[in-house]
Copies of this chain bind each other. A is one copy, B any other.
Amino acid sequence: MTRIAVDAMGGDHAPHEIVAGAVWAARDYGVAIELVGKQDRIEQELDKITHEGFMTDKGKGGPKKYRIKIDTSKLDIKITHASEVIEMGEAPGQAIRKKKKSSIVLAVDAVAQGSSDAVVAAGSTGAAMASSLFGLGRLQGIDRPAIAVTLPTIKKPIVVIDGGANSNCTPEMLFQFAVMGATFSKNVLGIEHPRVGVLNIGEEAGKGNELAQATYKLLEEHQEKINFVGNIEGKEIFLSVCDVVVCDGFVGNVALKVTEGTSSMLFRMLKQEFKADIAGKIIGLLAKPFMKRIYTKINYEEFGGALLLGVKGITVISHGRSHAYAIKNAIRVAKYAVESGVNEKIAKFHEEE
């Protein structure tokens, strides 16, 4: 059985929501779990879930809160004690060297030692990346790991890589991101011959900054191995014109957060508009379930987490604000990634090079 190590202490709602999400995933997806963190706190949470259950609202877009009670003693859950926790503000590199007994370092170590197959972490993204990089090492042919973020579009999901791991990139790095993103899209999302595009500010090959131009050339030269479809613009991300969007981590992170900001602004504006008069309030009330369904579709909690690709192991990085539902989904992503053998396939691409 695939076992997922979960950093029980990471995230705004740790350990309560994290442990609940892990238990939920163990029940629903038939995965084994290794909870890493303060043993007494975790035991307390498990006990509470068995006897009292936990409240959940299935993410903001789902139905109203309801209680789930799960007998944790019947599931394959083990606890690995970690005496330390890396906090959000700490410098990742320093923190992982100083806090060798922290939950994230030991969760990654569980994968390195083979007791688990993947890590799910909702704490400091920097610490999760740094500990994965140092604890697991890089895959063959990969200079820098990158974050692959799955986004909903009108049709099928799209992968944006790099979502924020590397602010300063070279064309060679972006080429590797393209390979990793395409392998992920094919093997984890099940998209045949994923189309790869470079995020740019115009369609033509000569457009954009030096990095985008050089990356275009590099991908064009390797078209027999990568289904490169050219540049794609920011407004096309959601139009299913490609399956993998390649960019540096700075641009990728800005793009992802602008998406988040735009949708929350639009929903707020719409709510305000409905409040204008009595008729509006009634129509707003009627329209609410429809808006909620959209909100659920685009909600990050559905996708559960982004994958750190390029390390010898699977690390899923969840949103710091994750509740149980998001953690449950992140564990599902981790399980799929492990079972699809995405890493072996990335390494194989470079062996054949």
Contact = CB atoms under 8 A, between A and B. Distances in A.
A283 B280 contact: no
A280 B201 CA distance: 37
A274 interface: yes
Interface string A230-266: 0001111111000000011111011111111111111
B297 A164 contact: no
B233 A257 contact: yes
A201 B238 contact: no
A293 B273 CA distance: 8
A251 B253 contact: no
A269 B249 contact: no
Contact of A168 (B209, B255, B284): B209
B255 A258 contact: yes
Interface string A271-288: 001100000100110110
Contact of A260 (B154, B235, B248, B270): B235
A208 to B, nearest CB: 5
Nearest to A166: B209
B257 A259 contact: no
Contacts of A201: 164, 167, 249-250, 253-254, 257
A257 B236 CA distance: 8
B266 A237 contact: no
Given A201-B254, A269-B154, A234 B260 contact: yes
Interface of A: 153-154, 164, 167-168, 199, 201, 207-210, 212, 233-239, 247-251, 253-266, 268-270, 273-274, 280, 283-284, 286-287, 290-291, 293-294, 297-298
12 contacts: A154-B268, A167-B207, A168-B210, A201-B257, A236-B257, A238-B264, A239-B265, A258-B262, A269-B297, A273-B290, A283-B283, A286-B287
Given A209-B248, A236-B261, 6 more contacts: A234-B254, A235-B257, A235-B258, A250-B251, A269-B297, A270-B294
